[in-house]
Amino acid sequence: MSFLHPLALLGLAAAAIPALLHLLQRRTPPELEFPPVRYLSDAERRSARRLRLRHLLLLLLRTALIVAVVLAAARPLVPSRGGGGLHAPTALVVVLDNSPSAGAVVDGRPVLDRLKVAARAVLGRLASADRCWLVLADGVARAGTREALLAVVDSAGIDPRRLDVVAAVARAGRLVDAEPLAAREVYVVTDLQRTALTGTAEVPRGVRVVVLGRATATAASAPVPLNRGIASARASEGAVVIVVLGTPAAPAAPVTVRLRGREVGRALAAPGATLSLPLPPSPAGWWVGEAELAADELRADDRRPFVWRVAPPARVSAGADLGAFLTAALAVLKDGGRVVAGSAAPPDVAFEEPSGTRGARGGLAGARASVVIPPADPALLGQANRALAARGVAWRFAAEGTPGPLASAALAPLAGVQVSRRYGLEAAGVDSAVVLATVNGEPWLVRAGTVVLLGSRLDTSWTALPATPAFVPFVDALANRVARGEAEILEAEGAPRVAFTVRGVDTVGATVYGPDSRESDLTPASPALARRVLAGDVLDDAAFAAAAFAGTRRADASGMLLLLALLLAGAELGLATRTH
């Protein structure tokens, strides 16, 4: 039992008033010898016993009356199985999944509309003593009053970000478990997309989890919404490669490629297909295109932008003492039109060993950017470091490091390639350099301004990289992108758009935003999978609304106590009248 107004229980002290008055009113009359009274002694003793019993009953009735009135004022709550009534103070989190898949149209309306109705049914029953949070697809736990959270639900639209439902439920469980309230509950309002239920939510013991199931009573046999979505679109080598994902049984649909609003390609694709459509020749610069699918149940994934850069091949120069592998790779790139060598104009990129035959500064000073390769003789490291210092580079070659595999997020083909010999690369001061690849967690490839430092010579006695298929593309990236300071074209989650990275007046990279490709598969999870992954009860719409606070539902017993107080008052009045 709990009380809505526990401070009113202080009034129970008034229950002692009838007993105090009873004790104060007791007095012993003076005794005088009066012979005729002796004959009445027997009758007096019998009457006194009856009076004492009535007075005791009056005392009990008056005490019980005060207790009943005070308890009614405190408004006690008792467990109730009914659908109405109040509930014990509860810490709860409502997880509303408004990620892109909730925008799918089912039975003529977006799934999000149904989810918002279910969320409102829970939030509408909040009491002032409850502590509540609302979690949307952005993962932020918003605390607030009932009115404030209902307003957030009403204004919630489709968020381009994907909600990690399992992680959100685990965080919500920990959040309510930390609250010192009588009950702790998590309500999960999601479309139960199967791709969202991976792993298992670790929910603390004592936390009740309730999950909204599919819309109809025949959900197990309801048709799965068919959908196709563009998972990725990447332009390379004069073509755009498009990957289409979605519900496995969805039929093929036309994919259209547009460049500046003009259609330049079209093809049919079903979920799981990969298309390669040619792009028209374009002048130098950054170009933005768009791949678009025919409209289906989910519009959020039907459009995906892509971006690519058309640039003249880099003019390169290279010393003769840099090894046969690098010389051969540059020759291949020259034959393919990827680089220009032997031009009369100053080179864009110089592949240099600063301690080589041209002096400590000759190659470094002559090019706009440099790729610095360490000398083969450790005795020349000092000369190389002095050349770097003269150029203003705040990095130095250090002692030889331990062998190990390459790791790189910026240059994925390098990952796992073995390095058997290398020099350490150390910062000689505060610098804004970018570490592009590491070995055993230590820098191996660093870009510091217009200078790129390699920790190994490009020879198989130093690293296995020259013997791998990634070597020529790696040299291409060094010459045309890394040394020039151009970043990768990155992909990120968000509303479909392209954001360019600008350094000064130069555009040096771009980020392409789009929804998570897993949102395209609208196959629902089974109730058994949802129960196992989310550790909760899966209920349909009607049962979900009725289950809100069912574990802690309480009825107000103050009415019954007031009725009891009335009965006690009537009994006390009748007994007091008869006594007098």
Q: What is the pTM of this model?
A: 0.68
On the question of pLDDT at 258 being above 70, the answer is yes
| pLDDT class of 66 with cuts at 50, 70, 90 | confident
491 phi and psi angles, rounded to 5 deg: -120, 140
d(CA 240, CA 234): 5
On the question of pLDDT at 551 being above 60, the answer is no
Q: What is the mean pLDDT of residues 488-509?
A: 88
59 or 277: which carries more pLDDT confidence?
A: 277
Give the distance between the most distant pair of CA atoms in the chain.
152
Q: Which domains does the chain have, with CATH numbers?
A: 2-26+41-75+557-579 (no CATH), 86-222+524-554 (3.40.50.410), 228-310+514-519 (2.60.40), 315-482 (3.40.50)
Q: State the pLDDT at residue 218.
A: 42
Average per-residue pLDDT in the chain? 85
201 or 69: which carries more pLDDT confidence?
A: 201
CA distances in angstroms from 513 to 233, 290, 539, listed in the order given: 11, 12, 35
| pLDDT class of 122 with cuts at 50, 70, 90 | very high
Q: State the pLDDT at residue 454.
A: 95
Per-residue tokens: 509:
């990279």
Distance, C-alpha 244 to centroid of its chain: 25
240 phi and psi angles, rounded to 5 deg: -110, 130
Cross-strand partners of 369? 349
3 state DSSP class of 298: coil
Q: What per-residue string of b and e applies to 418-429 under the rule 16 or more CB within 10 Å gives b?
A: ebebbbbbeeee
Residue type, 78: V
Residue type, 77: L
In the DSSP assignment, the letter for residue 463 is: B
3-state DSSP: the chain helix, strand, coil percent, rounded to 5? 35, 30, 35
Q: State the pLDDT at residue 301.
A: 93
100 contacts 157 by C-beta, under 8 angstroms: no
Q: What digits encode the pLDDT tens for the residues 406-455?
A: 999 878 789 999 999 999 999 876 666 789 999 999 999 999 888 999 99
On the question of pLDDT at 220 being above 60, the answer is no
Q: What digits encode the pLDDT tens for the residues 447-461?
A: 988 899 999 999 999
Give the H or E element holding residue 21: helix 17-25
Q: State the pLDDT at residue 364.
A: 46
Q: State the pLDDT at residue 222.
A: 58
Q: What digits encode the pLDDT tens for the residues 144-155?
A: 999 999 999 999
223 or 359: which carries more pLDDT confidence?
A: 223
Give the H or E element holding residue 385: helix 381-391
Q: What digits encode the pLDDT tens for the residues 193-205?
A: 999 999 999 999 9
Q: What digits encode the pLDDT tens for the residues 24-56?
A: 665 555 555 555 655 555 555 666 667 677 777
Q: State the pLDDT at residue 289.
A: 96
Other C-beta atoms lying within 10 Å of the C-beta of residue 382? 13
